[in-house]
Amino acid sequence: MLALGKLLELTLAGREPAEKTQLTVEGVRLRWLAEGALEVQPPEAHDNGTDLLLSAGIHGNETAPIELLDELIHAIARADLKPRARILFLFGNPEAMRRGERYVEQDVNRLFNGRHRQSSGNEALRACELEDLAASFFSIPDRYRLHYDLHTAIRGSKIEQFALYPWKEGRQHSRRELARLQRAGMQAVLLQNTASIVFSAYTCDKLGAQSFTLELGKARPFGQNQQVNLSTLKSSLVQLIEGTEPVSDDQLDGLQLFSVAREIIKRSDAFRLHLRDDIENFTELNKGYLLAEDQADSRWVIEEEGARIIFPNPKVKNGLRAGILIVPVTDEHLG
């Protein structure tokens, strides 16, 4: 196996490879760009015009998708997997990965779309570097741009594997991409309706990619992901990489769709979220339930029919999202 196939090993050790560019026996070029960043280029005659960005480790303790990307990189470096797409593999927060922590000082996934310019420190610099790497990768015109940012969640979930579809003004949702997500094992998709500061929102809004955040189960340490079944996603990614996807009729039968009703923003240290610490994502909340309170008599009371909560986290910094209220929708909302 080529040495650059050991990107995860290099990243966890904090080492640069001696050789920055290597070729497989099939003529696939692997190029180390920066810490945790590897570009894969198929031979020109086999290039199908797809640019695929696969990122993981934006939160350093979300190890299952990191291990999945490591498996794909190994397979490419051994020439067992023969790409027809250009690929950029990114391990987002190397220092947090080495520590086994979600982040060191700041949540990197709250520093995109220029938010890093309002901050300082190594993680703000890393968010800037990730934006630059993605922008450079997606700079070639007339190619199909796709980004999957792979995560696992802090808590358990009633729907274990789901995707978040970033909002972009004036752009309709793609049935093709929703069907692709369903084939990849996603049971639900959250259709967002406001701008965001996460990585997939940046590549969607600023770089014109079809971009998605994929939540793939609960966060666990390296080597302890036996309960996280990513076999369906892996098979789908292999087909994407090799250009062997089956022809799809874009039917969405069985895929659950949700829309954002409200975001719960923590304004002060007085914020209180009235939920159990172990509550699962997609837990349904009854109308009239007092969900949260903050200073100046701010109150969030459930008004929506069928409302559910995802990503509840009262420990975020003031000014950030402490949870999202979502409601089910039909595919008639896709436009």
293-302 pLDDT, tens digit each? 999 888 999 9
Task: Give the catalytic positions in this structure.
Answer: 215
Task: Give, for all 335 residues of the chain, the pLDDT tens digit.
Answer: 899 999 999 999 999 999 999 999 999 999 999 999 999 999 999 999 999 999 999 999 999 999 999 999 999 999 999 999 999 999 999 999 999 999 999 999 999 998 899 889 999 999 999 999 999 999 999 999 999 999 998 888 899 999 999 999 888 899 999 999 999 999 999 999 888 999 999 999 999 999 999 999 877 777 777 777 899 999 999 999 999 998 877 788 889 999 999 999 999 999 999 999 889 999 999 999 999 999 988 899 999 999 999 999 998 989 888 999 999 998 776 75
- Write the pLDDT tens digit of every residue in 173-209: 999 999 999 999 999 999 998 889 999 999 999 999 9
Domain boundaries, the chain: 3-242, 265-334
Q: Which architecture characterizes domain 265-334 according to CATH?
A: Beta Barrel (2.40)
Q: Locate the DSSP E strands across 161-249.
A: 161-165, 188-191, 210-218
- CATH node for 3-242: 3.40.630.10
* Residue 157 DSSP code: B
> Which pLDDT does position 165 carry in this prediction?
97
Torsion of the alpha carbons at 37, 245, 22 and 53, rounded to the nearest 10: -20
Dihedral sign from CA coordinates of 182, 184, 190, 194: negative
